Chains A and B, each alone.
Chain A
């Protein structure tokens, strides 16, 4: 367990960009009418925004970052750090963050690197950027987080295709005395097969066989380059591991659920998130959802939910929030912090 109290940093703004292309789950005919109804009841997902063929995570993050930098009137020369958290980078190499450094016209003095995490990625990304800012040598940073998961799921796999939407986000972070965030994060590689794309890395390089579409079950066909998700394993992991991690964080910070304005979870599926919420005794009013219109957007889901559900409130008054991401890895984490009248742009459609 990694408990960290990171001082001298704050979030100054958040922006989210999604593809304008909307795919309705009601049009997904691999599911029967009753399955569609059950899908919405259990996952809460009615539609998602899906990237066009040549639209990447970095394209979405670039739009979000440009809009945010303009709104904040930040001098781009002052951005000393850019971290890109994603599992859908532009290339195997070089790191996408470095390409974004140039596209965003940031200084070559800016440190830029990628972090390969999914659903827990926003919390982990915040901890990395906060740690580097906290030292005081870097004053301003961009955390760009997102995924184009739609490109990794088989349209013939009803266990994954209806779930995932695409989004890219930008979070502006700067040095600030008297501001801090408390983190708790964990990892368990024993569960690495619960969410996996088997081929395409060095372990299993792409081969002719990688493209073979295999029927796994009724309505479930995929190849080894497609995302594979064991829903029962992920559910079991999430509802047994996330609440204890958050309880420890609450104890360490001497806080209780009532102390928080909002508890923003990674948007995985509604049934799972509601179980976690009830175990921790957060109210429905404290726990916003963006699943209905955006689906599971992987690492982007926390900032996306803040932009889509909370923007009016966090722009006008200080809000104490608890953010928690959990999933692929397996990896999970949570952070408590204040969002004090930050800039929060409405969702941008690209």
Chain B
């Protein structure tokens, strides 16, 4: 599982509505001015569909960057 591919999938999910070009691995996605719990749901569903990993709400709440999310998913997948 490649972290750049993971980043690409998240960007692709929101590209239609937001400018995701500058989003980096260590940017806090929850600091985006458009962020809401709906976006968290979209990411959880994306990870479930693409990686067959269901994040616990607490895991989603504690991960702020794409790198942190990637680490959580990777740890679950083992």
A contact set with B: CB distance below 8 Å: 32, 34-35, 37-39, 42, 158-159, 218-219, 230-233, 235-236, 239-240, 271-272, 275, 278
Contact = CB atoms under 8 A, between A and B. Distances in A.
A239 B17 contact: no
Given A159-B37, A231-B41, A271-B41, A34 B54 contact: no
Contacts of A233: 57
Contacts of B40: 231-232
B76 to A, nearest CB: 13
A37 B45 contact: no
A195 B56 CA distance: 17
Interface of B: 17-18, 34, 36-42, 44-45, 48-49, 54-57, 60-61
Q: Which of B18, B38, B48, B54 has the most chain A CB within a 10 Å cutoff?
A: B38
Given A38-B17, A38-B39, A42-B41, A232 B34 contact: no
10 contacts: A34-B17, A35-B36, A42-B41, A219-B36, A231-B41, A232-B40, A232-B41, A236-B56, A271-B41, A275-B48
Contacts of B56: 236
Contact of B44 (A35, A218, A235): A235
A113 B30 CA distance: 47
Contact of B37 (A232, A236, A239, A272): A232
Contacts of A230: 57
A219 B35 CA distance: 12
A158 B60 CA distance: 20
Contact of B49 (A35, A38, A39, A278): A278
A38 B39 CA distance: 8
Contacts of B55: 236
Nearest to A269: B41
Nearest to B17: A34
A103 B28 CA distance: 58
B73 to A, nearest CB: 15
Nearest to A240: B54
From DSSP, what is the main secondary structure of chain A's interface residues?
helix
A275 B41 contact: no
Lowest 9 CB-CB distances: which A-B pairs, in order?
A: A232-B57, A34-B17, A233-B57, A231-B37, A271-B45, A236-B57, A38-B38, A42-B38, A240-B54
A113 to B, nearest CB: 36
A275 B57 contact: no
B38 A232 contact: no
A38 B48 CA distance: 19
A236 B39 contact: no
Contacts of A219: 36
Q: Which of B17, B18, B39, B61 has the most chain A CB within a 10 Å cutoff?
A: B17
A273 to B, nearest CB: 11
Contacts of A272: 45
Contacts of A239: 48, 54
A219 B36 CA distance: 10
A280 to B, nearest CB: 14
Contacts of B54: 236, 239-240
Contacts of A37: 17
Given A219-B36, A233-B57, 6 more contacts: A32-B34, A39-B38, A232-B41, A232-B44, A232-B61, A236-B44
Contacts of A34: 17-18, 34
B38 to A, nearest CB: 5
B61 A275 contact: no
A156 to B, nearest CB: 15
Nearest to A39: B38
Contacts of A39: 38
Nearest to A271: B45
A278 B44 CA distance: 15
